[in-house]
Structure 1
Amino acid sequence: MDWQELEVFQTLAHELHFGRTAERLHLSRARVSQVVQTLERRIGAPLFDRTSRRVALTPIGRQLLEDLTPHQFGIMQAFARAADAARGISGTLTVGFSSPMAGERVMGIAAMFRTAHPDCEVAIREVPLTDRYSSLRGGELDLALVEFPVCEPDLVTGPAIFCDPRVLAVSSAHPLAGRGTVRAEDLSGETIHVIAGLPGYFLDDLIPAHTSCRRPIQTTTSWQELLTLVAAGQGVTVCAEQGARYYPRPTLVYLPFTDAPPLTYGLVWPVTAATAMVRAFTQAAIELSAGIATPRPVPDHPVAE
């Protein structure tokens, strides 16, 4: 059996349609039929039952497919390892995350990445809330999945991976707690708690603006302390809806904004660290998030934004 016979047989066994098999392999239908007939003569028995309406594997064809599949996978893995080595895709990639949902998404991307690149390992680390970018700049992380926007001249922002609705967390005793939703103007006069160390441009994007708002800002270094202050009625905080899932408290209420867009999470890496592994992980993230977010092209060369 030559390589084309193997490829035609396995593709037709999955498609069960000569036309689609020909399209996938960029062959003519006549060539597909010819290859199958040659293979069946070599085997000495039909591999497919075919009529004008359907194509189906014969028992011998099914057995051949089952026997070939693990060997085919091994061959493809061998080629993948060789290609990865040529492109420098091997070793350990360290990926950060800044929130529980981002952590779950990183785990999913990492699983897909490891399957495609078996000689790679992925180490997952939490990003320090008070300094989201120091681990990237210091080399402890190769890339991270964090909240956007990221406007740092030495960092590259990749594709958006997912979005999460923006909400206002308040004490269950707060006057707004009985409302189903809130608007930006409801922040007027409220003390807003945030994590310390967030860049000014990030705060401007995080907290919905309103011309009549006077918004005193209080900072803290711990997310649990921040939630405790909010639950105690000492202010409010703007966050992602995932907070209601991962940090539920009987004394907290999470209220969606009706006039603020969702928070966006995406990949970011240092300008000097756009390696083949980083690009391969980013491509896996794009493929996994298809239909969830509209990805931007991965830069061929590091470009600061």
Structure 2
Amino acid sequence: MIQDIAPYRLDTAYTPRPPRADSLLYLLHGKSVLAAESGGLLRLPRFCELPVPEADCRFLFALSGRDCFWCPTALSPAGGDYAWHGLRRAMERMPRAEAFAALTACHLAAWYRANRYCGCCGRARVPSTTERALVCPNCGDIVYPRINPAVIVAVTNGERILLTRYAPAHGPTEFYALVAGFCEIGETAEDTVRREVLEEVGLRVRNIRYYASQPWGIDGNLSLGFFAELDGSDAITLERDELSQALWVRREDMPRHCTQNALTWDMMEAFRTGRM
């Protein structure tokens, strides 16, 4: 999965410092990242390559000792080889460690942009000097990076697994996916598994087992993967506002995805290859 970057390491400890010449710049516009073509891959800019003011650079984290920064004011390509690339496709063409860091940068950048002003009194927030937080200098309100917990569920019935496709308004439709949804207030992750499966496909499940988790920064999520067995009828009742398709597929008939980045892919492969 995309977070499996060993021997590289993403160090998210908040130790703000100025950029160096070789520091990586994550310049983001919505869900696009600024990068250059290089030998068939996408390469991120270094601080020394772009005319970005040092004072505008915000420290994000370190990637195996190399500092990474986000610049909120850099909203247009600087010319030359650099251009905007949609992050979902760009991460397939970046070294995995830099792609995972890009997702995390996207998560942090969205949080910084959404919390510029205090929700209690309206004053501009300032970064904390001691931790990853934004502080209101007027009323003292503090906000921390928001993380949205969500579940991904592989529903199985013997040698079959339930595959889905998103409705166009809810995600990519070209690939098969699994039942997924966000945790609600007052729910355990297991409660969310039961509710989402029942809401989206009208099925009941039992024997819910945790599989793995994945931070997915492009949406600000922490995805929790579960396997669950069908409990009762296998007749699907599709929630068409969420999904365009849901069907039972035998293990030997499962499609192979072209990406190895996502938890959904890893769970589908675990079932297809008999690991689950």
Both structures adopt the same fold (TM-score exceeding 0.5): no
Higher strand share: 2
TM-score of the superposition, structure 2-length normalised? 0.22
Structure of higher CA gyration radius: 1
Which structure is higher in RCO with an 8 Å CA cutoff and minimum separation 6?
1
| Larger proportion of helix | 1
